[in-house]
Amino acid sequence: MAYSSLEDCLKDLEKNGHLVRVKEEVDPFLEMAVIHLRVHEAGGPALLFENVKGCKYRAASNIFGTLERSRFIFRDTLQLVQRLIELKSNPVKAIKSPFKNFNAGWAALKALPLKNPSSKPVLQNEIQVTDIPLIQHWPMDGGAFVTLPQVYTEDMDEPGIMKANLGMYRVQLTGNDYTTNKEIGLHYQLHRGIGVHQAKANKKGQPLKVSVFAGGPPSHTLAAVMPLPEGISEMTFAGVLGGRRFRYAYKDGYCISTDADFVITGEVCPGENKPEGPFGDHLGYYSLRHPFPLMRVHKVYAKRDAIWPFTVVGRPPQEDTSFGELIHAITGDAIQQEVPGLKEVHAVDAAGVHPLLLAVGSERYTPYMRVKQPAEILTIANHVLGTGQLSLAKFLFITAEDREPVSAHKVQEFFLYMLQRMDFARDIHFYTNTTIDTLDYSGTGLNSGSKVVFAAYGDIKRKLCTDVPAVLRELQGFENASLAMPGVICLQAKPFTTYDNAAAEMQLLHEQLADKLSTLVEVAFITVCDDAKFTAANLRNYLWVTYTRCNPSHDIYGIAAHTQYKHWGCSGPVVFDARIKPHHAPVLESDPVVEKNIDRLFAKSGSLYNVVR
């Protein structure tokens, strides 16, 4: 159905058993976030906080907490949007079947943004930043943040809404050196549209006007995170997905989403940065304080009965996981259309999305060759690492189907397929001194680190062990050898100190195993970590520890390693040093006192009593 507001959506969710009202007073400092995390982990409903301590406005979270609920919200338009994305990728289909695709075309025209609607509810009240629910999510956060913002900017060379960018870039409202109610912080990462707009404004020596929308129809929130094909406006997409035109107006030179619950307007001036963070982020660690653009607040607006939407990110899976699943359901094979030969790609949520990418490609270059080896998938890997958000991948595992099917979305089966076929001397390719995800602290600095491609294809080369080989149980300097999955062993070592010491420790491991390779033929990967039993306890732990705590160029070793003509390889298992390093960001941990305090809401007399049962 076409929601005209966030409240319309929440009422519909409540009517259909997807929402619970939290009537008790809750503190926006840590309590609301911990409540959200507990409910989300239990697969619970959306939450409407009706009594936020120190604030007159309500707040809502976990709106998109499950894929089922997200599909329910967009139940009337989801198939239509999928059809439009498909037609954008393949317009010939529309020409061949004009009547079949008539509704899709009509919906796209109907969804053009509507300027100056008769009703502008968000402009009813001018407020201050401190009137907003100031939610702090994690104990070490630098202040209160907007976690479901829609950040709107326009291109100075091509102004107007159809060339504008709407993105979800976190916003720090309080703390650090920000002047209260006058300054807030914008955090955005590599490959973001807002960066192009700011670069143009800086070049002209002019401030960039920024509008931050919060709330409104749920399609607006999803539009801000959609990786749309070139040429499709986020506002048009929001209109199609929401079944309602994106309504907007201009005030004081700023674009206003008139259906939003809250709007913050302001300017980013050339060269003006202030420290932003820390912030508990979606990799499961804090992103630390770094200089990011300062936004000078112009005005803040709110609807009379506005609702503040928020989410809480942390070690995945969290609510943003459902965003990813919904985006995948909508876009289908759009990325495959862009990269020739690519059949499937999967950014692994359990490893924080960007650190680990799995892909299935094609091998058509040399069908006449008897010996099968990676060829086309190497070309595809380079294309993938040069494509939009995929370019942030740190570990890329890519293979191709041969006699049996393989899916990148069946993570353990995919790893087993690759590890059975991998040639450690041939199939590992490093990219050093390059860019990585801003939120990834495993590298050598902010946005700096390395990448590695594991490209394996061909006949099976090894059987994978299903138990820990005896030789790995009797090592000096390493203990608690544990099986994470067939062919993958975790070893526990002393805490990491320096890379020089790590090299000596890995040399010790090599010396103990180099002459025993015949007993290790069934072992493909070894993860050296701080807690082997935790890392090997389940696939989720293994993926999170191994691929978020490694910088490939610095932390990958190999038993009987060698370099030939600048290509690195090894004869024995590949070793990942996945211990926490001194330069890594702290792991997210909730406050036990807060955890205990919120138990009152889940007791028999509490409004959330039945939610986690």
* 524: region left, alpha or beta (phi > 0 left; psi from -120 to 50 alpha): alpha
**Of 225, 259, 232, nearest to 244 (Cα)?**
259
Same domain, 415 and 477: no
Looking only at the bridges linking them, the beta strands covering 448-455 and 395-400 are: parallel
Q: Which of 70-79, 360-369, 450-459, 538-547 has the lowest mean pLDDT?
A: 360-369
Q: Give the confidence band of 494 by pLDDT, cuts at 50, 70, 90.
A: very high
Residue 461 lies in a domain: no
**Of 251, 212, 219, nearest to 235 (Cα)?**
219
Residue 423 lies in a domain: yes
Residue 344 lies in a domain: yes
Angle between helices 78-89 and 234-242 (to 10 degrees): 140
Mean pLDDT of the chain: 92
Residue 608 in this model has a pLDDT that exceeds 90: yes
DSSP code of 180? T
Exposure of 463 by Cβ count < 10 A (0-12 exposed, 13-18 middle, 19+ buried)? exposed
Q: Give the confidence band of 603 by pLDDT, cuts at 50, 70, 90.
A: very high
Could you give the number of structural domains in the chain? 3
Residue 577 in this model has a pLDDT that exceeds 70: yes
CATH number of the domain encompassing residue 515: 3.40.1670
Q: Of 250, 284, 318, which one is at a domain's C-terminal end?
A: 318
Question: What angle is formed at CA 18 by the lines to CA 12 and CA 20, rounded to 5 degrees?
Answer: 100
pLDDT at 219: 96
| pLDDT tens digits, one per residue of 15-43 | 999 999 999 999 999 999 999 999 999 99
pLDDT at 108: 59
Q: Give the confidence band of 192 by pLDDT, cuts at 50, 70, 90.
A: low
Residue 594 lies in a domain: no
pLDDT at 161: 94
| pLDDT tens digits, one per residue of 212-239 | 999 999 999 999 998 776 667 899 999 9
Same domain, 199 and 212: yes
> How is residue 379 written in tokens?
């070309």
Q: Which of 46-60, 394-408, 539-553, 571-585 has the lowest mean pLDDT?
A: 394-408
Residue 104 in this model has a pLDDT that exceeds 90: no
Residue 358 lies in a domain: yes
Q: Of 263, 290, 318, which one is at a domain's C-terminal end?
A: 318
Q: Which of 24-28, 184-188, 449-453, 489-493 has the lowest mean pLDDT?
A: 184-188
pLDDT at 435: 87
CA–CA distance from 196 to each of 154, 165, 201, 564, 597 (Å)?
10, 10, 9, 41, 45
Same domain, 451 and 540: no
| pLDDT tens digits, one per residue of 80-98 | 887 776 655 544 343 344 4
Asked whether 399 and 421 are in contact (CB, 8 A), the reply is yes
Same domain, 188 and 225: yes
Any alpha helices (H) in 568-613, and if so which ranges? Answer: 592-597, 599-602
Same domain, 174 and 184: yes
Q: Give the confidence band of 489 by pLDDT, cuts at 50, 70, 90.
A: very high
CATH number of the domain encompassing residue 100: 2.30.110.10
pLDDT at 105: 56
pLDDT at 81: 85
CATH number of the domain encompassing residue 387: 3.40.1670.10
Same domain, 444 and 498: no
Question: What angle is formed at CA 50 by the lines to CA 48 and CA 56, rounded to 5 degrees?
Answer: 130
pLDDT at 88: 56
Residue 61 lies in a domain: yes
Same domain, 289 and 194: yes
Same domain, 418 and 497: no
Residue 190 in this model has a pLDDT that exceeds 70: no
Same domain, 267 and 328: no
Comparing 588 with 103, which gets the higher pLDDT? Answer: 588
> How is residue 6 written in tokens?
């966030």
Q: Give the confidence band of 304 by pLDDT, cuts at 50, 70, 90.
A: very high
Residue 605 lies in a domain: no
| pLDDT tens digits, one per residue of 324-383 | 888 888 876 667 777 889 999 999 999 998 899 999 999 886 665 666 889 999 999 999
Q: Of 318, 344, 378, which one is at a domain's C-terminal end?
A: 318
Residue 598 lies in a domain: no
Same domain, 239 and 387: no
Percent of the residues in the chain that have a pLDDT greater than 70, as a whole number = 93
What domain range is 106 assigned to?
6-318
Same domain, 137 and 281: yes
Residue 474 makes CB contacts below 8 A (sequence gap 6+) with none
pLDDT at 92: 39
Residue 253 in this model has a pLDDT that exceeds 90: yes
> Mean per-residue pLDDT for 185-191?
76
pTM of the model: 0.91
> Mean per-residue pLDDT for 414-425?
97
Same domain, 132 and 239: yes
Q: Give the confidence band of 199 by pLDDT, cuts at 50, 70, 90.
A: confident
Asked whether 549 and 498 are in contact (CB, 8 A), the reply is no
H/E segment holding residue 510:
helix 499-513
Question: What angle is formed at CA 249 by the lines to CA 248 and CA 254, rounded to 5 degrees?
Answer: 110
Q: Give the confidence band of 390 by pLDDT, cuts at 50, 70, 90.
A: confident
CA–CA distance from 119 to each of 89, 167, 255, 356, 371 (Å)?
36, 25, 15, 46, 69
| pLDDT tens digits, one per residue of 107-166 | 556 679 999 999 999 999 999 999 999 999 999 999 999 999 999 999 999 999 999 999
